[in-house]
């Protein structure tokens, strides 16, 4: 495992990329409403990243992924591909954005709700966010990744929800996915100890039903096997000498 410790100059570039990614989610929020398609949302984000931010949408053509953002609706866990489906009242939607600026990545995702959503949808959306925040608040030098994963898992399961295990957070920098893997489950006291200068994502996927998932034939879209709802929030986080800094905070969160 090779974990890159970022220099002050690299951290500043990570801040810029993270801020741009958050700005995309802030920008698109007013467009997320019943009747719009996820493909339209993709196109708006693409133009904003390329034309306004003069940056690169990292997902586009990454290992063959065909679009500039990921849009995951209802029982889609992650990596949903934008298409002609129109959002409707009661849907929950995750939009996942990664921006490359000056060679560095900023990665974040956020849940959006359309109209009046069910009580289960409210619960899974809220607990997914709180699970992420719980994990982020633990980040500081010396803490082990297993402690974070354990805390996230325990919190979600306390609310009778489950945490997806096949997909996890990851180191990030000049590469989209770097070491270490950041699991959202596990045993306390295990895993690597955090050091200042590490940058990685925390992005728990929380299911209303069982944790089991399956990959669709498109090779990207991951859904809950029992078709129950799933929700996810994500931030890119820096380990500082005294704690942590969230690099992808938006103003509309």
CA nearest neighbour of 111 among 25, 45, 31, 30: 25
| Statement: residue 193 has pLDDT above 90 | yes
**What integer is the mean pLDDT of 40-48?**
98
Strands laid side by side in the 222-224 sheet: 76-78, 222-224, 213-215
CA distances from 40 to 33, 115, 164 (A): 11, 19, 28
Banded model confidence at residue 251, pLDDT cuts 50, 70, 90? confident
Average pLDDT, the chain: 97
The encoded tokens of residue 114 equal 């359309």
pLDDT tens digit sequence for 52-107? 999 999 999 999 999 999 999 999 999 999 999 999 999 999 999 999 999 999 99
| Statement: residue 253 has pLDDT above 70 | no
Strand partners, 78: 222
| Statement: residue 252 has pLDDT above 70 | no
Q: How far apart are the first and last CA of the chain?
A: 34
CA distances from 152 to 11, 121, 176 (A): 26, 19, 23
pLDDT tens digit sequence for 133-185? 999 999 999 999 999 999 999 999 999 999 999 999 999 999 999 999 999 99
């Amino acid at each position: 495992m090779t974990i890159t410790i970022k220099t002050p100059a690299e951290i500043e570039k990570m801040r810029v990329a993270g801020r741009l990614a958050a700005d995309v989610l802030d920008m698109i929020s007013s467009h997320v409403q019943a009747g719009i398609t996820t493909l339209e949302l993709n196109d708006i984000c693409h133009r904003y990243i390329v034309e306004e931010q003069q940056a690169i949408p990292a997902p586009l053509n990454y290992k063959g992924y065909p679009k500039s953002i990921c849009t995951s609706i209802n029982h889609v866990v992650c990596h949903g591909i934008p298409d002609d489906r129109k959002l409707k009242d009661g849907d929950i939607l995750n939009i996942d954005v990664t921006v490359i600026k000056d060679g560095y990545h900023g990665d974040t995702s956020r849940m959006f709700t359309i109209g009046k959503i069910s009580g289960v949808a409210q619960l899974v959306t809220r607990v997914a966010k709180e699970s992420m925040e719980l994990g982020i608040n633990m980040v500081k030098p010396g803490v082990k990744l297993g402690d974070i994963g354990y805390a996230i898992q325990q919190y979600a399961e306390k609310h009778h929800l489950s945490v997806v295990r096949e997909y996890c957070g990851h180191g990030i920098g000049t590469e989209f996915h770097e070491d270490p893997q950041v699991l959202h489950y596990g045993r306390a006291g295990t895993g690597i100890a955090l050091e200042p200068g590490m940058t990685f994502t925390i992005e728990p996927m929380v299911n209303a039903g069982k944790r089991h998932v399956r990959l669709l034939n498109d090779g990207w879209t991951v859904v809950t096997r029992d078709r129950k709802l799933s929700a996810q929030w994500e931030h890119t986080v820096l380990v500082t000498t005294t704690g942590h800094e969230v690099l992808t905070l938006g103003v509309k969160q």
